[in-house]
Each structure stands twice: as structure tokens, then as C-alpha cells.
Structure 1
């Protein structure tokens, strides 16, 4: 009993040390956003800026190429919101089919879906590019948004596991009351899998917000760039890179991510833990 307080103190010390180790890069990023670009990578400089340079945020928000950073944030929001809505709804519908409906080759197609989950994304980049080029979708948001309306293997698997935990008696009661398959889906199943939907939406938000490969491949106009490409524009191999402005806008782009995490943290834990109970 006497050793319990000692173990508790040691646990908190180790946990605090681990948290500090994980948060140090973010802290360094925030502090560097208030330093001149010439002093950011100087080993003689301390972590705390002296003096504090707020001009980095002003310069960063002015943007590049005549477009303010608000334009890039708006583009990212368009891509993220539409992609998230599409991937969550389509994945939920597909997961409902695998978990509740009986059809020929159900196990086979479920395995095929899992195989696509294990397939490296880089393998399909060239075929997708050729397909979208023939469709005339290049230099638009369509190649980045439309594929999300056909589901995502990770989210489908997550929701299938969640739906399988729901009692089948709910389906039988709804069918007796006259519900068809689609009405059963959106009136009974969809409200009950809200934690899985929220978890999928949050992960989709993160992945789409930080995506760089898609915009690099399909977007050529600066006015259509999302924040991931806008940050890259602050770096120039021929002239002096504006590291201060880039770090300042990196901090700005972290605000939505952090806000979404803290607002929906309980849904992430609940959605993943409940899906794994089966």
C-alpha cells in the first residue's frame, strides 16, 4: 500500500515526459512561427522567440500569387465537406448491405473489399489519373471528391463491425411494421451507428485536409489549391523561402484539426472501441 503512491507519482512523471516529447514538435512549430525566417533553424537561438514577430501571420495570410490564404482554406473546406459527406453515407450504405443483406457472392465481395484495403494507394495513382484524364476531370475538384461517393474500405469495415453488434430483432420489428430495405437503413440502422459515422467523418476530415498527392496530381490553377499546396508554395528552391510565413499558416491550418479533435474525441473512442467488441 505504501508503494502505491510512489508508483502513481512515477506514472504521472513518465506520462508527462511522454506527452512533452510528443508535443515538442508542435511547440517548436508554434514558437518558430514568431521568429524571423533567418533565425528559425539557427542552433544558437532559443525555443522562445525574442523578439516576437507577428508579421509572419500578416504576410502568410496575404497568400501567394495574388490569392489570400482564405481562398486556400475555402478550397480545402469545399473538398473536405463534400468528400466527407460522400464517403460516410456511401460507406454506411455498403456496410449495411454486407452486414444485413443476403446476396450471391457476399463473402467473396467482402474479401475483395478487404483486399482493396490492403492495396497500397500508390499502385492505383496512374490508372486513376488516366481514367480522370479521359473523363476530362483534370484541373477540377471532381477527381478528389467524386471517388469518395463510392465508399472507403476502412470505413466500410468499421461500420460492418458496428452494425453486426445491433440485434436482428430490430430489423424484424421494422419489417413487420412495413419498412423496406432502404427505410430500414435510414430510419433504424443509420441513427444507431452514429458513433461509427462520427468516427468515419472525423478520420475523413483529417485525411482530406492534409492530402497533398491528389491536389498535386489534378490541380494546376493556384486559385483552386487547398491549404496543403498553399503551404508548399511558401518554399522556393530558387530564392529565399519564407519559412516564417509558412510556419505561421501551418499553425492556422492546425486550428480546425485540433478543434474537431477536441469536439468529437469521445466519438472517436466510442466508435472504434464499440466496433471492436464483436
Structure 2
């Protein structure tokens, strides 16, 4: 009797998980299904996830882009911005985190509090001052406003990596100093290899956030040939004419592939990086 109850309980839990999973994935599945439907039937058959006919030409039409600018250009621009910003944020955050975790300096606690406070500032507060500053630099219609700030560290990444570094015994640093290692050698040869899980976790988050960023390119980029994928998708929607929803969904489906690939390749680092970083405060 106990075994039967346990079986039914497990079965009920599995069914509930399947239903919740389907409910969460339904919008994504609906978008993928819509990418194979014709523009005329995409909403008339919205209740069905199975297209009556597979229209692969939606991907061809969407890939052609606009005004002679193919969607490949938008993907190329997104990869440039995302990779550069990810490298900048992870490298700079690791260096700053090492300073907070291992180096004693005047005002350390004050600067750390100031850094944490910046995490509470909404983007809307700093949006206008940043735009005025970058416009004064002459960086409008360039990628510098989207890339350069990441080379000064990201507070969330700094905190995450710093907590990870604190789990590493300081005796390792002392032993390295006895062997003649400088502070830079300790950082590059000891700390960095040990904090790779936290760095990879930050890289995954940064890649996703930068790839999905819409407000930044909308503010600083006015030339279509510089647009990333997020702005390229917006160009499909035209309130003054007929929107090609099928092509929009087709390119939206392609745009999520890099994020899925990165996540499934490095997902083990997310659990390891976040769980280990919280072991010691």
C-alpha cells in the first residue's frame, strides 16, 4: 500500500511538472510554430502548434533583411557587441573582485558599499547623463557606449566573483608569496584558474543580457547597418503598413539559438559558480 501511494505521488508530481513545463514553453513553441506558417494564417490558426504547411521561405525572406542589409549583418553586429562586452565585464569584474577580496586599502568598505548601491540604481536614472556624456565624446552611432562601460566592472559580477574568491584559503596566497610570487602572479596563476566557474557564470549572464539588450542600441545607434539583432527584429514591425509576422517569428527563432547553445554548453558552471560563491561571506 505504501509503495502504491508513493508511485501515485511520484506520478502526480511528474504530470504536474510536465504541465508547468508546457505552460512555460508554450509562448516559445507558439513562436517557432508561427515561423513556419503563412502570414495570413498565423493568427487564424493561433490555437494550433502544428502548421498546416511548412513555409521555409519565411526564413529566406526574413534573412534578406531590409534596404539591402541582410539579417546576417545584424547577427554579426550582435556578436561583436556581445563578445566584446562580455570579455570586458568578466575580466574587469574579476580584477576588481580580487582587489576587494584580497587587498587591504584605505576606504575599502566605503567603496564596496558604493559599488553595491549602484546595483539599486535603475537604468532610467543614469540613461540621460550617460547619453549626454557619450554625445560629448562624439560616440553616438558607434559601439563604444555599449562596450566601453563594461571594462569598468559590473557590480553583480564583482560581488559574485568576490564571494567565490573568499572561499579560497588565504594560506595559498601566503605560500605563493614565500615562493616568490608577486601579487599579479598570485592573481593570474592561482586565483583565476580557481574562479573559472564563477567567471563562466558571469560570462553566460553577460552574453544573455547583452544579446537581448534593446534600450542601449536604441539610444546610441541610428544607422541600420550598425543595428544588432534586437533592433533588426524591431524593423519588421511597421505600424504604417502590414507587418510580416512570419518572417519576424522566423528571425526571432534564429536569434534565440546562440543563447540556447551558450546556456547548454556551460550550464554546469551556473550551478557550480552560484552555489560555491555563497559558501563563505
Please state which band the TM-score falls in when normalised by the shorter chain.
Answer: over 0.9
How many residue pairs match? The answer is 278
- Corresponding residue number in structure 2 for 1:136: 138
- Corresponding residue number in structure 1 for 2:261: 259
Distance 1:72 1:177 in 2: 50
Distance 1:44 1:125 in 2: 38
Q: 1:73-222 alignment to 2 at 5 Å?
A: 73-222=75-224
1:260, CA displacement in angstroms?
0.8
1:6, CA displacement in angstroms?
1.6
1:44, CA displacement in angstroms?
6.7
1:269, CA displacement in angstroms?
0.8
Distance 2:43 2:107 in 1: 58
Distance 2:219 2:183 in 1: 39
- Corresponding residue number in structure 1 for 2:275: 273
Secondary structure, counterpart of 1:138 in structure 2: coil
Distance 1:39 1:72 in 2: 28
Moved more, 243-252 or 31-40: 31-40
Conserved? CA contact 1:39–1:45, under 8 Å: no
Distance 2:45 2:29 in 1: 16
Q: Does 1:246 align with 2:248?
A: yes
TM-score, normalization by structure 1: 0.98
Distance 2:39 2:75 in 1: 23
Any runs of at least 4 consecutive aligned residues in structure 1 with deviations exceeding 6 A, and if so which?
none
TM-score, normalization by structure 2: 0.97
2:228 to 205, 210, 226: 226
Q: Per-residue CA shift, 1:158-216, capped at 9, x if unaligned?
A: 00110000000111011111111111111110110000000000000000000000100
Q: Per-residue CA shift, 1:57-112, capped at 9, x if unaligned?
A: 01001111211111100000000111001000000000000000000111111011
1:47, CA displacement in angstroms?
2.4
- Corresponding residue number in structure 2 for 1:11: 13
> What is the CA RMSD across the aligned residues, in angstroms?
1.0
Moved more, 42-51 or 219-228: 42-51
Cα distance, 1:186–1:177 mapped onto 2, change above 3 Å: same
Q: Per-residue CA shift, 1:132-171, capped at 9, x if unaligned?
A: 0011111000000000000000000000110000000111
Conserved? CA contact 1:211–1:228, under 8 Å: yes
1:35 to 9, 12, 37: 37
Distance 1:179 1:120 in 2: 42
Distance 2:68 2:60 in 1: 14
